[in-house]
Structures are given as structure tokens and as C-alpha cells.
């Protein structure tokens, strides 16, 4: 499966949804875990702002990668952010999208602006 590294140094990333356990099966409540490590996964919501455009994005992070001190509305840093295109068929409908995953989320800072 193809993985694309996301360069975030010029972006402002703000936390919009606090970390919550990622659910694998909504009917049973089973938690999603990393396929390799077996570690429980969390999801966060962020707004990703770059070049005057913004996108609301859900990001999956391992539970151990969720740093203390996260504040809603505050900037965060997404360590090792990657995007993975996906597609599937659900109830006969073709679906596709991009899944975002980071190794860690930590309190961040607004990017430095260049004096012009």
C-alpha cells in the first residue's frame, strides 16, 4: 500500500477534536489496534491550514503518541504525518478517501512568518 509523507513545516494545524479511542466495530465497540504492535489507536480532529486554504482532517495516532497538554483550538504538531489513499466497496457502493496517520501529536506553535 502506498504511503505519502506530508510536509507540515509551513502549515498551521489546530486541534478541533480531543483524542478519542478509535473504534474498529461500532456494533460491538471493539477498539482499533495497530496491526503490527497491537497498540490501541486514537483519533483526533484538526484543521490543517496552508497557503490560505483549510481542511478538516481526522488523524489516527497510537495511544502512546498522544502527548499531555493538548488544548482544543491550540496549535499542534503531528510527528511523522503520512497520508494513505484507500478504497473499498460497502453495500455495493464504491468508496474512497485518504487516511491520515501520525506517530505522535504534541502541543505545537504557529509557524514563523517571514518578514517581507
pLDDT tens digits for the chain (116 residues)? 589 999 998 999 999 999 999 999 889 989 999 989 999 999 999 999 999 999 999 999 999 999 999 999 999 999 999 999 999 888 889 999 999 999 999 999 776 554 44
Predicted structure pTM score = 0.86
Instruction: Give, in order, the Cα–Cα distances in Å from 102 to each of 16, 25, 43, 106, 114.
Output: 16, 22, 10, 11, 27
DSSP state letter for 40:
B
Q: Beta strand pairing status for 93-101 and 53-62?
A: parallel
Amino acid at each position: 500500500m502506498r504511503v505519502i509523507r506530508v510536509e507540515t513545516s509551513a502549515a498551521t494545524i489546530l486541534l478541533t477534536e480531543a483524542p478519542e479511542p478509535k473504534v474498529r466495530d461500532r456494533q460491538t465497540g471493539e477498539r482499533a489496534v495497530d496491526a503490527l504492535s497491537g497498540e490501541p489507536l486514537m483519533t483526533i480532529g484538526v484543521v490543517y491550514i496552508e497557503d490560505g486554504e483549510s481542511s478538516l482532517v481526522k488523524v489516527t495516532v497510537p495511544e502512546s503518541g498522544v502527548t499531555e497538554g493538548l488544548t482544543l483550538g491550540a496549535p499542534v504538531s503531528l510527528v511523522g504525518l503520512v497520508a494513505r489513499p484507500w478504497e473499498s466497496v460497502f453495500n455495493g457502493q464504491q468508496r474512497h478517501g485518504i487516511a491520515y496517520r501520525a506517530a505522535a501529536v504534541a502541543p505545537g506553535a504557529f509557524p514563523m512568518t517571514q518578514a517581507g
